[in-house]
Structure 1
């Protein structure tokens, strides 16, 4: 789903669509798989921590949701542009960058879970 892109990001292609949820989401199994596969050597591997994705010019936390189809990034309608649904390139922040961005956004990490 995602491959190396830069020192701070992985690159993937997802179907992006608007939905009625409050926060951006991908299917819960995809969320777990990305956490386990890409963050396995890092200390960020906590399934309750949102992933951080970048689409166009904005970063946002992404949670797992059973109601979102696999391979899909569902954006709340207020985030979604008029050009959706569409198949899009999506950046996924690597663990160090994701941790930094989540901290900037006020996410409260348990000190024992993140280095």
Structure 2
């Protein structure tokens, strides 16, 4: 689903749809799999599914939680963020950047998310 793109990001394509929620979300099982595969390294003793994934849609960095009611391969995004990310006519298939673990930690630490 996500492939290496740069030193700081993986690239993927997800359907982007609006949500009434305040935070972006993907399907909980998908969130757990991505977290296990891309955020948990050999040096981690446990999977940290309590931390959000960090995705970039347009110019916006989003903390992404896992939600059971979000369909697979879909990123549910608050409507105001969709407008600023220039997503036209959702739901639509969009390129999404997933910050690599170290880059995501930096973005969260500096408050860019």
TM-score by length of 2: 0.87
Within-5 A mapping of 1:1-115: 1-41=1-41, 43=44, 45-81=47-83, 83=88, 84-105=90-111
> Residues 5 and 11 of structure 2 are in contact (CA less than 8 Å); yes or no, is this contact kept in structure 1?
yes
RMSD, aligned α-carbons: 1.9
1:106/1:80 Cα in 2 relative to 1: closer, same or farther (>3 Å)? Answer: closer
Unmatched segments (≥5 aa) in structure 2: none
TM-score by length of 1: 0.86
Secondary structure of the residue that 1:70 maps to in structure 2?
A: coil
Equivalent residue pairs, number: 107
1:4/1:106 Cα in 2 relative to 1: closer, same or farther (>3 Å)? Answer: closer
Q: Deviations over 1:22-46 (max 9, x none)?
A: 1000000010000011123264941
Which is richer in helix?
2
